[in-house]
Amino acid sequence: MLPPSRRDFVSLTVSESGSYTNSKQWCRQSCWRKWKRLSRLQRSLILFTLMLLLVCGIATSPTLIRHWRGENGYDGKQPFVVNLKNEYRSILPELPSEKKDYHRRGPPALQNHLQTKTNVSGLLGVENHGLDLKNADKGSEGGKPINSWRGAVIEEEHASDTDTKDTEIQDDPASIALAESRLEAVREAFRHAWKGYKNFAWGHDELKPISNSYGEWFGLGLTLIDALDTMWILGLKEEFAEARQWVAKELSFDKNVDVNLFESTIRILGGLLSTYHLTGDSLFLEKAKDIGSRLMPAFSTASKIPYSDVNIGKGTAHSPQWTSDSTVAEVTSIQLEFRDLSRLTGDPKYKLAVMEVMKRVHKLDGKQDGLVPMFINTNNGLFTHQGIYTLGARADSYYEYLLKQWIQGDKTEKELLDDYLQAVEGVKKNLLKKSTPSGLTFVGELSHGHFSPKMDHLVCFLPGTLALGAHYGLPTDHMELAKQLIETCYQMYAQMETGLSPEIAHFNTHEGSTQDVDVKIADRHNLLRPETVESLFYLYRFTKDKKYQQWGWEILQNFNKYTRVCERGMKQFHFCTMFFFIIIIDKFIFLEYIFLMSISVENKWLYYFTSLQC
């Protein structure tokens, strides 16, 4: 008998009544059956997880938290409106009208200016902090009334039609409310950043906001020192007092550590000097003298071109291990601070050392129409890597400091002015082009006779510098060029998806281009540089055109939106990577104060320093 045949298939009969209809009702029933098949433990775990995610989402929403707590929210788009008379009264200085014996601080020209700006500018007033500030002396020179403030000779400000019109605008209640809300938004941004620094990087050089840790450049509290003058100007009394205590008790330069001459000068020496000028507190001058003296070994070279690195504990200096060159920008961008240190201490050695550098550079061969190469050798004092000319990295602030040293020296040092004017003409001749299709004026680079439409964000110092020169009597076409270039720098922000400028932009110059700016993958990052905002400040101050103020406000909003880093957790802390850069945006209360104190100087002194160079 044969075995039964083996079936290699399965038959399935589906009745019509149970046919699949693909309906939503069937889908819901299917999901419900699957849910019912789960055990009670599995269902409980799923429900618990969903509830936990919901609670975490609500708890980590800053908007909801502020709403529940009744706090004033700031979403980065609408003005940050607060009740200045209540919530922030404890940390803001009292207004002049509210203090019977109000003792005004700062240069008299600033005091006069503040009196015309009602409560908005009154917020810039600061209290004594127990510091012995001298009253301003009055004098005259050449029949011209002047005021002296801590060694600075400041020209009296004269009311003009523009100033009167600006005062009338400030008196408008709506304008005052808007200005107050924006001022407080700037303060909020500072507090936001400072809280992260204080919690996780106190006394260290920089905060690492993602890992909630800190990093060191030299181990000298760079962020804290950099922020001293900013806190004083913002009226953050408690924060300033804490930082001052750290400087008094913890800051020591007697360390076996190599520091960069340029970075230490602009951040530490400059930060201490500017704070001394604002407060009159001798602690900061003594610290400035200490670090200034320890940096002097850098100038002990045969060429008089300083080494880039100094061991401030051993008193030795050297070039980097990989080269004997220094960048031209670094050796020519330390002059303002050292010259000011000589003026304050009466010791000429600091000024003589840095001015010898400028004299050497002035005489060097290798320039093209006033434009300088990027590197200089510390052994022989000659330019290296010749043939490449840029206003970007490694050369930028050479041009900026030519003008500012000339102003600082009472406009008497003709060599500095000649070098500056020749360089501006060199830029016009060799580096200035227009993009397509919008015709934006930009500054490119020259490499061995070949033009490159590459423009660093660093170049955006130039509009402000040109405007400053025009303000001091240089050709009026400098101001026109400044306006064109600041439009380009703004577009480097506005044309990006985030509203933040890339580190480097390449401009299209060929006919038929559909967009002005191209950004390469390697350059698609923002290093929070302040050059554009500083230039916006200058243009706003000199022209009174509020579009520059508005552009700065837009940039602040975008930094708030895209550069805040949040710590994961129930309490939702915010830590900001931009630190103190954003302090000068909108009303520019930081640089406005320094500006009135320094840019108005006609004789003997100009000290312009921003602690926001990132």
Amino acid at 459: V
Instruction: Enumerate long-range contacts of 405-409, CB under 8 Å, 24 or more apart.
Output: 405/335, 405/336, 405/339, 405/358, 407/468, 407/472, 407/599, 407/601, 407/606, 408/336, 408/339, 408/340, 408/601, 408/605, 408/606, 408/607, 408/608, 409/339
Residue 258 annotated in active site: no
What string of DSSP letters covers 324-349?
Answer: SEEEHHHHTSSHHHHHHHHHHH--TH
Rg of the chain over Cα atoms, rounded to whole angstroms, equals 30
Which of 396, 400, 534, 602 is the catalytic position? 396
Dihedral sign of CA atoms 209, 211, 214, 215 in order: negative
Whose CA is closest to 341, among 446, 268, 437, 260?
268
Residue 206 annotated in active site: no
Task: Let me know: does 275 contact 614? Beta carbons within 8 Å.
Answer: no
Residue 445 annotated in active site: no
Task: Let me know: does 129 contact 121? Beta carbons within 8 Å.
Answer: no
Whole-angstrom distance, CA of residue 497 vs CA of residue 352: 48
Residues in the chain: 614
Judge residue 316's burial from the number of C-beta atoms within 10 Å of its C-beta, 0-12 exposed, 13-18 middle, 19 or more buried: middle
Judge residue 260's burial from the number of C-beta atoms within 10 Å of its C-beta, 0-12 exposed, 13-18 middle, 19 or more buried: middle
Residue 531 annotated in active site: yes
* Helix, strand, coil percentages, rounded to 5, for the chain: 50, 10, 40
3-state secondary structure of 455: strand
Which of 229, 309, 456, 503 is the catalytic position? 503
Which pair of tokens denotes residue 395?
Answer: 């050369």
Task: Let me know: does 467 contact 482? Beta carbons within 8 Å.
Answer: yes
Which of 531, 534, 586, 592 is the catalytic position? 531
Whose CA is closest to 226, among 275, 188, 183?
275
Which of 166, 242, 263, 356 is the catalytic position? 263
What string of DSSP letters covers 302-322?
Answer: TTSPPPSEEETTTTEEE--TT
Whole-angstrom distance, CA of residue 453 vs CA of residue 446: 9
Judge residue 452's burial from the number of C-beta atoms within 10 Å of its C-beta, 0-12 exposed, 13-18 middle, 19 or more buried: middle
Beta bridge partners of 505: 455
Amino acid at 106: G
Which pair of tokens denotes residue 288?
Answer: 């400035």
Phi, psi torsion values for 564, nearest 5 degrees: -85, 135
Amino acid at 307: Y
3-state secondary structure of 97: helix
By annotation, the residues acting in catalysis are 263, 396, 503, 531
